[in-house]
Amino acid sequence: MLGMLLILVHFTEPISYYLYLRNRKLNIEYINNKYRNISIIIPTYNEGERIKEKLINVLQSYPLDYMEIIIVDSSNDNTEEIVKSMQIHKLKFIKEKERRGKIYAIREGIKQASNDIVVITDADAIWKDPLINAIKYLGGNIGAVSCIKHANSNVENSYRNFYNIIRIGESAIFSTPIFHGELTAFRKDIITPEELPNVGADDSTIATLVSLKGYRAICVENMRAVEIAPRGLDYITWKTRRGSHLIRHFTRFLSKVIRSKNRRFKGIFIEEFYLHLINPWLLIIGLILLSIWNLYLLIVLFSISAILSINVKFREALRAWLPNQLFLILSQFFALRGEVLAWKKERK
Ligand code: GDP
Ligand code: MN
């Protein structure tokens, strides 16, 4: 029976959180639709294949007069050549002597930024909306803005839809502790480069630091981005590497968040900590207990989910959910290795 109970909690907890957040709308006092000067930072490591499409996308997303582009590059491919051949108006190209990891590149980029609003974006991300949709929120008590995500595969997308609604709901309540590398826009008066620790999850670290300072870090619905997901074995490496970045993120900040005074952010952070570090174990332990003590119940459980799987939506959700729980557990073991700052580039 304990096994059954654990499995029940494993599914009802996130579903309740989802239902609780589902219909929340962002309420914002501060919106500034005027174009302001921004600095866009793109860290690059061997992005020769992608950088041109990326820059075209960035250049079309905001008026040129208002943006400076900073590329911090540690490539040993033709990235630099391609960037320079594009003759971009306000470009700072910083070549790193050696590859030290994305976080070093970002810190360098922020130091070189001439404007108060900084936007960090990965080379393998494409924005689907004009950047003003995100920038307009920066000001007042909003310290940072990120996008919502769409993927290029169906399974990845059904998982995405669930998480996008959670991100938006958390943003409506106060802040989300999870940001996306596709777009991390923030105010330099709130976060300085020196404050950024050596982490893999730079995006979520910025969101959490901003929130700990009492400002909001929000994901907005009208700013969508697509990231290309790797296939095959690299998909697994990718999921677990990023999972372990997030796991380390949650353990790193837990005690600071608990000691902080912001009750709304504390609640959100602890819920996410639970979802990433504890909830996956309930499923695994529950299944193991059932298979040891009560094979009969396990069969009933599988039959029920097989019947429910006739519904396409349910089937897709389950197909995305189950591997993700396993990835999260694997990620916890990988996280024990310590912080990985310069990772092997996955094939996309
Ligand atoms: P993921 O988005 O977390 O899966 O990581 P990616 O491998 O896509 O990297 C995110 C961004 O950081 C991309 O634009 C990379 O080119 C860039 N990047 C990754 N590692 C380094 C590095 O060591 N130095 C620099 N300058 N950029 C890096
Ligand atoms: Mn990426």
Cα 227 to ligand 2 centroid, rounded to whole Å: 6
Domain assignment present for residue 343? The answer is no
Residue from 75, 86, 87 nearest 47 by CA: 75
Nearest Cα residue to atom 11 of ligand 1: 122
Supply the range of the domain harboring residue 321. 2-20+262-335
Query: Using one digit for the tens of pLDDT, what is the confidence trace for 218-250?
Result: 999 999 999 888 988 999 999 999 999 999 999
Of 240, 273, 303, which marks where a domain is finished? 240
Query: Using one digit for the tens of pLDDT, what is the confidence trace for 268-320?
Result: 999 999 999 999 999 999 999 999 988 888 898 899 999 988 888 888 888 88
Query: Using one digit for the tens of pLDDT, what is the confidence trace for 318-330?
Result: 888 999 999 999 9
Q: Which atom of ligand 1 is nearest to the CA of 44?
A: 16
**CATH number, domain containing residue 134:** 3.90.550.10
Tell whether 325 and 210 lie within a shared domain: no
Query: Using one digit for the tens of pLDDT, what is the confidence trace for 29-48?
Result: 899 999 999 999 999 999 99
Query: Using one digit for the tens of pLDDT, what is the confidence trace for 50-87?
Result: 999 999 999 999 999 999 999 999 999 999 999 999 99
Tell whether 195 and 299 lie within a shared domain: no
Tell whether 95 and 178 lie within a shared domain: yes
Cα 147 to ligand 1 centroid, rounded to whole Å: 18
Percent of the chain with pLDDT over 70: 98
Question: Which residues form the pocket of ligand 1, taking CB atoms under 6 Å from any ligand atom?
Answer: 43-45, 47, 72-74, 96, 99, 101-102, 105, 122-124, 181, 238, 242, 342, 345
Cα 101 to ligand 2 centroid, rounded to whole Å: 13
pTM (two decimals): 0.95
Strands 117-120 and 142-151: unpaired
Using 50, 70 and 90 to split pLDDT, how confident is the model at 154?
low
CB contact burial 239-278 (16+ within 10 A = b; e otherwise)? bbbbbbbbbbbbebbeeebeebebeebbebbebbbebbbe
Domain assignment present for residue 254? The answer is no
Nearest Cα residue to atom 3 of ligand 1: 242
Tell whether 91 and 14 lie within a shared domain: no
Tell whether 221 and 269 lie within a shared domain: no
Domain assignment present for residue 249? The answer is no
Which of 98, 102, 110, 199 has the most ligand 1 atoms within 8 A of CB, as the residue to mutate? 102
Ligand closest to 181 (CA) is 1
Tell whether 231 and 276 lie within a shared domain: no
Cα 102 to ligand 1 centroid, rounded to whole Å: 5
What does the pLDDT average to over 136-150? 96
